[in-house]
Amino acid sequence: MKRASCLLSVIALFAATAPAAFAQPFFTTPRASQAASVTQRVGLTDITVSYHRPGVKNRTVWGALVPYGEVWRAGANENTTIAFSHSVTIDDRTLPAGTYGLHVIPTETEWTFILSSQSRAWGSFSYDEAEDVLRVTVTPEPIDHQEWLLYAFEDPTANEVMLSLSWEMLKGSFPIWTDTDVVTVEALRTGLRGLARFNWQGWQQAASWCLNNNTNLEEAMTWIDRSIQINKNFTNTSVKAGLLTARGDAAAAGKLLDEAMKTATENELNAHGYQLLARNKVDEAIAVFKKNASDHPDSWNAHDSLAEAYMTAGDTANAVKFYKKALSMVKDDQQKARIEGQLKQLEG
């Protein structure tokens, strides 16, 4: 009797727990609304939307499948999320780096995008308005049929990008802005706390970026002085000259650069010319490239760079002249093909 009683108890326990055990998934199988993500880098800031993509499937979406006036998960399945690697600004509101839940309240005339501090929920079923971090309202625009819900980043610039949600026959978008200069300078400061601080190139590259982007110039001057203390050379001296010019001390900059030019190598002069082009100082760049071509008459690269500077200046005749000179000297087939392409473009 005891053994029979024990067996009955085991069977009863199995019967009670079996539904829970069999409810656990043993396999990953495809979902009707498949997972997707899209990422855009703006400057150094990565923006990522992670979501699931429902299909229209011959249904009416807006006002039916997605009711008007109700919070919607802005996708399917788990919480749609948006993540920022650095702080961003949306609708004049600054948001710190992090991951946010993304929801939408649609109406017939406008959509309200909601960023929530809760990013690990299942859809919008546990949405709590008290957890809202930001709301931005937009007017949706008509589009061609979009079967599968789609997030996309559009019209990226150095500091801003538009995030759009498209589904069925409507699209809603809002801009996301990040201060690329601030983010980059902070990254440079952090980098200069590491191995980069032990060589002149690290300090020079950080200062050069600031000069080329006309930002953080005072600190950049301390960085370039540190580079020169480690190893004075034409590259870092020319950056200091540029910083002096930006400060308004053209005389000191000219004296420093004239001195450095006497010992500059072909590659150093070439790099300096391109730095000037990057700062839109085209006439000064042409003067440097002309000196380089004069000092190194047998260098195809010196003439090629001079041709590029003339092309940038819109001086087609001189650009053609020096591209042809470079072409007559270059041996590398890839470079030949590139220069021939430039000449074909210039000569029409």
348 residues of the chain, pLDDT tens digit each: 455 555 445 444 444 444 544 466 778 888 887 899 999 999 999 999 999 999 999 999 999 999 999 999 999 998 999 999 999 999 999 999 999 999 999 999 999 999 999 999 988 999 999 999 999 999 999 999 999 999 999 999 999 999 999 999 999 999 999 999 999 999 999 999 999 999 999 999 999 999 999 999 999 999 999 999 999 999 999 999 999 999 999 999 999 988 888 888 999 899 889 988 988 999 999 999 999 999 999 999 999 999 999 999 999 999 999 999 999 999 999 999 999 999 999 997
- Which residues is 170 bridged to in the sheet? 142, 167
In angstroms, the CA 312 to CA 318 distance is: 11
Strand pairing class (45-53; 160-177): unpaired
In angstroms, the CA 156 to CA 161 distance is: 4
**C-alpha dist (Å) from residue 144 to 64, 65, 171:** 19, 19, 10
93 CB neighbour count, 10 Å cutoff? 12
Q: What is the crossing angle of helices 266-278 and 200-212, to 10°?
A: 30
Sketch the domain layout of the chain as residue ranges: 34-178, 181-347
> Are 59 and 80 within 8 A, CB to CB?
no
In angstroms, the CA 336 to CA 329 distance is: 9
Q: Which architecture, in CATH terms, is 181-347?
A: Alpha Horseshoe (1.25)
Map tokens 């301390």 to a residue: 222
In angstroms, the CA 342 to CA 348 distance is: 10
Map tokens 């948001």 to a residue: 95
Map tokens 């006002």 to a residue: 63
